[in-house]
Structure 1
Amino acid sequence: MTTSVPLGLAEQTEIKAYTDFTASAPPPLRKSLGIDSLRVGSALALAIREDPSHFFNRAGGFAEDEPVTADLLTQVCDFYREQGVPQGALMITPSLLPPDWTSVVGKLNLSQGGRFVKLGCDVETALAATEEAAALAPELRVGLVEADQAHEFATVMMPTFGFTSPGLTDLAASCVGKPDWQQYAVWEGKRMIAVGSIFVNGECADMFGGATLAEARGLGAQSALLAARVRAAQAAGCRWIVAETGAEDPGDHNTSLHNMVRAGFEPLYERTTWLWRG
């Protein structure tokens, strides 16, 4: 079954999730991390000066009705430069790259980074697929993360992705309970072993930050979290769900990608990350 997720809505939902996750943090935390964002036409650019990984320095949400030009992207690169970050990413849907893209790459001194698969589906398709998902191991349970569990949630999510800075952990904790967000976790007894969030952007929801502790993988935690978040998207009135994960090279196996396909998500396209370096 093909998905009808509008391309522009899918990209806007992704970048809005990242900017809301970071830019709406408490003011003292935004100041200490050096968080800022910029709107350039339909696109949003985000920068976190004190992020050693540079992962959150990204721009996305480029629209079909707004040409992606060197001038537009220069504004984004200038923003990164002004924020004092050494690297920023441009997340542009392949179909929106202009005919003179090779020239733009040379002019802005861009290089290719990692590749991501953009996935999407309608909520009804995901509901039907997750009903057939493998059951969670009997010693585990899935549920909503409460405010007093925010720090534990963050200490599972961020280090699992390699983000070990205390400031970034505080950033994730500050997101718990925010409007348009819901956070879910899987517990083994009283210990939280896996987490995942949902961000609601009108009729579209983004599956954000699914992470499982290394020693707890293979127990069905992420499939259970996908199912819980699909039900949350339905309850929020969403029509579509989107997600993104790393693309596979020959011989690779991305468990997250295969979990989402089993949950009804359809790969929409692969998107190369274009990197600007100061």
Structure 2
Amino acid sequence: MTTTVPPGLAELTEIMAYADFATSASMSVRETLGLGSLHVGSTRALAIREDPSQFFNRAGGFGADGPITVDDLARVCAFYREHGVSQGSLMIAPPLLPPDWDATATKLGLVEGSRFTKLGCDIETLPTVADRAALDPGWRVGVVEAHQAREWATVMMTTFGFTAPAMIEMAASCVGAPNWRQFAVWAGERIVAVGSLFLNGQCADMFGGATLPEARGRGAQSALLTARVRAAAAEGCRWLVAETGVEGPGEHNPSLHNMLRVGFEPMYERTTWLWQA
């Protein structure tokens, strides 16, 4: 099986998911967080001044509609500066980097940050995903409804270390939004794991998979991946994309191996390029 997701589409779908996730929040939540967004051509950028982790200060979609220019990149750096954040990430697929990238990165003061593995799959050529996840007896996976949004968001955001009430409210706001499908695993009446699917036409993004520490290793994320693959197929998507941290020597990344088991293939390793004030 060969993954054929165009890199530009893969990157655009990822950043659209992040931007839509954050900007679904109410104006009062956005003001509390100091949340701003930029949309120029295929490029999207997001800044959240009150996010101490700076994780959500990210930009992507570069090169999806034509060659990347210095002006494209400089505009994003200016956006970060204007929004008063101390650091922002630029996500660019290696096949789309300009030929003079080293000189461009130096000119803009960009430095290398963490690395991610970009994964993709063609849904039409995926092996059958029927019930390959051995979910604990008595646990179930299903779609999240509006009245469950707060619990769902709390599990997702606190698992990733985002405990501020406004950050949790931001996450809850995207439940039921038009391009989203949210899923959870319940142990009895309690949500113990979550995952989302963001729809971008023919391509969909696996977003925000998280499991409470005490519920790990019991099939929850595999069940959520399977549910989202089926949902993407039902929506008529051709491709699925996802990303996770690069697995270094001697390391084991459960998220990576869960996705490989479902049928995802690594597309490329992507360096995060950091702008710093």
Deviates more, 1:27-36 or 1:11-20: 27-36
For residues 63 and 85 of structure 2, the distance between their equivalents in structure 1, rounded to whole angstroms, comes to: 25
**TM-fit CA distance, 1:130:** 2.4
Deviates more, 1:216-225 or 1:155-164: 155-164
1:45 aligns with 2:45: yes
For residues 242 and 259 of structure 1, the distance between their equivalents in structure 2, rounded to whole angstroms, comes to: 14
User: Residue 204 of structure 1 corresponds to which residue in structure 2?
Assistant: 203
**TM-fit CA distance, 1:129:** 4.5
User: Residue 71 of structure 2 corresponds to which residue in structure 1?
Assistant: 71
1:94 aligns with 2:94: yes
User: Residue 271 of structure 1 corresponds to which residue in structure 2?
Assistant: 270
CA contact (8 A) 1:34 1:49 kept: yes
**TM-fit CA distance, 1:65:** 5.2
Q: Which amino acid aligns with 1:255?
A: P
CA contact (8 A) 1:130 1:226 kept: no
Q: Secondary structure at the match of 1:130?
A: coil
For residues 174 and 242 of structure 2, the distance between their equivalents in structure 1, rounded to whole angstroms, comes to: 18
For residues 84 and 64 of structure 1, the distance between their equivalents in structure 2, rounded to whole angstroms, comes to: 27
Q: TM-score, normalised by structure 2?
A: 0.96
Q: Which amino acid aligns with 1:108?
A: L
User: Residue 252 of structure 1 corresponds to which residue in structure 2?
Assistant: 251
What pairs with 1:51-62 in structure 2 (closer than 5 Å)?
Answer: 51-62=51-62
Deviations 1:79-137 (A, max 9, x none): 000011111000001112222222122211111111011111112344x3422623211
The alignment of Structure 1 onto Structure 2 pairs a total of residues equal to 277
Question: Where in structure 1 are there 5+ consecutive unaligned residues?
Answer: none
For residues 182 and 90 of structure 1, the distance between their equivalents in structure 2, rounded to whole angstroms, comes to: 26
For residues 142 and 65 of structure 1, the distance between their equivalents in structure 2, rounded to whole angstroms, comes to: 37
Question: Where in structure 2 are there 5+ consecutive unaligned residues?
Answer: none
Q: Secondary structure at the match of 2:105?
A: helix
What pairs with 1:169-184 in structure 2 (closer than 5 Å)?
Answer: 169-184=168-183
**TM-fit CA distance, 1:53:** 0.9
Q: Secondary structure at the match of 1:71?
A: helix
Q: Secondary structure at the match of 2:90?
A: strand
CA contact (8 A) 2:9 2:64 kept: no
Q: Which amino acid aligns with 1:77?
A: C
Q: Secondary structure at the match of 2:252?
A: coil
CA contact (8 A) 2:25 2:169 kept: no
CA contact (8 A) 2:179 2:199 kept: yes
CA contact (8 A) 1:119 1:266 kept: yes
For residues 133 and 227 of structure 2, the distance between their equivalents in structure 1, rounded to whole angstroms, comes to: 13
**TM-fit CA distance, 1:161:** 1.0
User: What's the RMSD between the two structures over aligned residues?
Assistant: 1.3
For residues 152 and 42 of structure 1, the distance between their equivalents in structure 2, rounded to whole angstroms, comes to: 34
What pairs with 1:173-252 in structure 2 (closer than 5 Å)?
Answer: 173-252=172-251
CA contact (8 A) 2:144 2:184 kept: yes
User: Residue 114 of structure 1 corresponds to which residue in structure 2?
Assistant: 114
For residues 187 and 84 of structure 2, the distance between their equivalents in structure 1, rounded to whole angstroms, comes to: 42
CA contact (8 A) 1:129 1:264 kept: no
CA contact (8 A) 1:129 1:262 kept: no
Q: TM-score, normalised by structure 1?
A: 0.96
**TM-fit CA distance, 1:264:** 0.5
What pairs with 1:132-147 in structure 2 (closer than 5 Å)?
Answer: 133-147=132-146
